[in-house]
Amino acid sequence: MSEQQHSKTIKALAQSLGFVSCGISKAAHLSTEAKRMEQWLSKGYQGEMHYLEQHFDKRLDPRLIVPGAQTVVSLMYNYATAFKPSEGAFKVSKYALGEDYHQVVKDKCYELVAQLQAAIGQFNGRVFVDSAPVMERAWAERSGLGWIGKHGLLINKQMGSYGFLAELIIDLPCEPDGPTTDHCGTCTKCIDACPTQAILPDKTLNASHCISYLTIELKDQIPEAFKGQMQDWIFGCDICQDVCPWNRFAKPNQEPRFEPNAFFNTAKKAEWIEITEEVFNQVFDKSPLKRSQYKGLKRNIQFQIEAPEK
């Protein structure tokens, strides 16, 4: 099979497994991103996410993660939903409404690898779903899945930004795709809407001010400076995506495992406030909310309760 045929086969199989977009890049050093990443880290925008400072060289070159790698396959899996929280309820990011995406999307990727090897023969590589030191947005942009928006997230022209990214780093030679163009123009809706001013100029995110970071990654107490700014978000945040004009093209996902947890259908603030650790562990057994753990979730809720009236 030729490199062109390899690429066509990968894309056809990816589509059959439900991936909404698939792009291919040559495995190489991300020289453009290296300086930008170094500057971002030097300013402390990563907050307590010290893992972003580790394995710097590997983060920039997939061949150091998978020896002999020739190709990076970038994949996008839709998680957009028509679900809306009850009036006055606490808010949870759309990506966390159903089963943990790490496992759902990883299962799809492993199935893609199995089908691909059955079609063209054995090759070596690894699957990555928001794991290991892989710059997934940079690879997705390089392979034409979309462009990096001003909020730092990948925007796909056909479906917006509500998509999980995954990668196959493999030693199979494939015909690469090229990047697309930026279509944000002069729009600043995401910057204007962010209540904590986490979105800075030049597509820079001060993650240490982001509500998603504050409610998930931050393990210490949330700084008092953010009181009254969290807008009832207790796990993640969708504000910058909800206001993005490109997400008018988003269509609800068709993945049964992303069906919103039944708890979200009826839970008012009182149910969240009163939830016990036993109930939390039972209800959110396979949920991304397990990442914050019960203690973290209760901290986020308490912080909202103590917020001054506006």
Structure token pair of residue 292: 């914050």
- What is the full DSSP assignment across 17-33? TT-SEEEEEE----HHH
Q: What is the pLDDT of residues 54-111, one digit of tens each?
A: 888 999 999 999 999 999 999 999 999 999 988 889 999 999 999 999 999 999 999 9
Q: What is the predicted pLDDT for the residue at 308?
A: 63
Structure token pair of residue 172: 């199979």
Q: Which of 61, 107, 130, 177 is an active site residue?
A: 130
Point out which residues pair with 148 in neighbouring strands. Answer: 154
Q: What is the predicted pLDDT for the residue at 307?
A: 66
CA gap 222, 248 in Å, rounded:
33
Strand order in the sheet with 21-26: 21-26, 71-78, 163-170, 125-128
pLDDT above 90: percentage of residues in the chain: 86
Q: Based on the number of CB atoms within 10 Å of its own CB, is 225 exposed (0-12), middle (13-18) or buried (19 or more)? A: exposed
β-pairing, 233-235 vs 91-92, is parallel
CA gap 156, 19 in Å, rounded:
13
Ordered by start, the domain boundaries in the chain are 3-83+93-170, 189-245+259-305
Looking up tokens 């929280």, which residue turns up? 85
Overall size of the chain counted in residues: 310
Looking up tokens 């700084």, which residue turns up? 223
Closest Cα partner for 35 from 54, 60, 55, 58? 60
Looking at per-residue confidence, does 202 or 193 come out higher?
193
pLDDT above 70: percentage of residues in the chain: 99
Query: How does the average pLDDT of the chain come out, rounded?
Result: 95
- Is the pLDDT at 201 greater than 70? The verdict is yes
Let me know: does 24 contact 72? Beta carbons within 8 Å: yes
Let me know: does 75 contact 168? Beta carbons within 8 Å: yes
CA gap 184, 106 in Å, rounded:
30
Looking up tokens 């590997």, which residue turns up? 58
CA-only gyration radius of the chain, Å:
20
Sequence letter at residue 230: M
Q: What is the predicted pLDDT for the residue at 85?
A: 85
> Any catalytic annotation for residue 182?
no
pLDDT grade for 310, boundaries at 50, 70 and 90: very low
Q: What is the CATH number of domain 3-83+93-170?
A: 3.40.109
Please report, to the nearest 10 degrees, the dihedral formed by the alpha carbons of residues 15, 21, 24, 30 taken in order: -150
State the DSSP code for 160. Answer: B
CA gap 270, 86 in Å, rounded:
12
